[in-house]
Amino acid sequence: MPFSDTLKLQNGKEMPILGIGTWQGKAEELERALDAALEVGYRHIDTAFNYQNEDVIGKLLNKWISSGKIKREELFIVTKLPMIGMTREGPKKFLEKSLKALQLDYVDLYLVHAPIGFNYHGDDKLKFCESKGITVVAYAPLGSPGRAQFFKQMGRAAPKIPPLLDNEVVKKIARKHRVTPGQVLLRHLAQENVAVIPKSTNSTRLQLNYQIFNFCLTPDEIHALDELDVGPDGRSFNFADFPGYVLID
Ligand SMILES: NC(=O)c1ccc[n+]([C@@H]2O[C@H](COP(=O)([O-])OP(=O)(O)OC[C@H]3O[C@@H](n4cnc5c(N)ncnc54)[C@H](OP(=O)(O)O)[C@@H]3O)[C@@H](O)[C@H]2O)c1
């Protein structure tokens, strides 16, 4: 089953279903990686004020746009209002800071980083979102293995990170299609109309992560991957793990 490489947002704009994440991307390696990513075809970039790398992205975007290699309107740039900006003046102040760093005069999507969420207790959250016209983006679509390093650098114990890339079901499906486990995880989500923004600053991995449009998972494979869902126990990305963030029940 072919699927579209973009998702339509409620405002009618198209968002590329595959983007590149930039959390933990550091100066030169990020610049090199994004250069390679734009060459490969990525047009959707996810960043945030909190990632402290918007200036690196801005420099690279400016290089591509000013040289005429790419047009601004071909890109889909996402950034986020930091938690410290959740005040009356915050959104304007922080959006302006982000735009300046990104060397842009608009972003395509401005999100609230770690907003106060709501709990939907129904079975199928994706169907619920679809019924309300809500577009879903999967953060940490590979399970965010890089978090272990992040916590280590902070001198803190890492949460238990689900080893999605090592899962036997995922690996078996990957062998069958002669792709990588990462490609299976990304294709699984995208085939269910969930956008994916895997982060990689490794040129080989970021290229492989982009190659999810030339194979198709069967309904049985989709079902087998869906069955791996362990519900709330699998949600190890918890902002309460981050300094200064208070979880209110
Ligand atoms: N707003 C939020 O609250 C929020 C939260 C989480 C994430 N995000 C966004 O979502 C993006 C993705 O999430 P994430 O970075 O946490 O995790 P992820 O994309 O699931 O995983 C990235 C990690 O996996 C490695 N990797 C990438 N491709 C791989 C492959 N094919 N095989 C094996 N390892 C691979 C990367 O290392 P290398 O770079 O060395 O390849 C990196 O350590 C973030 O970068 C960020 O933009 C947003």
Tens of pLDDT, residues 130-164: 999 999 999 999 999 999 888 888 888 888 888 99
User: 121: annotated binding-site residue?
Assistant: no
Could you tell me how many residues make up the chain?
A: 249
Is residue 7's pLDDT more than 90?
A: yes
Decide yes or no: CATH 3.40.50.300 for domain 6-239: no
Query: Tokens for 8?
Result: 């339509």
Q: For residue 40, which amino acid is it?
A: V
Write down the catalytic residue from 51, 110, 120, 210. Answer: 51
Contact 57, 35 (CB under 8 A): no
**pLDDT, tens digit (0-9, with 9 covering 90-100), for 205-234:** 999 999 999 999 999 999 999 999 988 888
Annotated active-site residue 51? The verdict is yes
Contact 164, 143 (CB under 8 A): yes
Closest atom of ligand 1 relative to the 164 alpha carbon:
20
| Alpha-carbon torsion (184, 144, 98, 134), positive or negative | positive
Report CA(202)–ligand 1 centroid distance (Å).
Answer: 11
**pLDDT, tens digit (0-9, with 9 covering 90-100), for 103-132:** 999 999 999 998 877 677 677 888 999 999
Q: For the chain, give me the number of helices (H) and strands (E)?
A: 9, 8
- Give the C-alpha separation, 187 to 138, whole Å: 12
| Closest by CA position to 138, among listed 96, 185, 103 | 185
Report CA(33)–ligand 1 centroid distance (Å).
Answer: 13
Please give the model's pTM, rounded to 2 decimal places.
0.95
Contact 9, 15 (CB under 8 A): yes
pLDDT score at 32: 97
Binding pocket residue ranges, ligand 1, CB within 6 Å? 21-23, 46, 80, 113-114, 139-146, 165, 180, 182, 197-202, 205, 208-209, 237
- Give the C-alpha separation, 149 to 156, whole Å: 10
Higher pLDDT, 76 or 157: 76
pLDDT score at 2: 46
Closest atom of ligand 1 relative to the 208 alpha carbon:
31
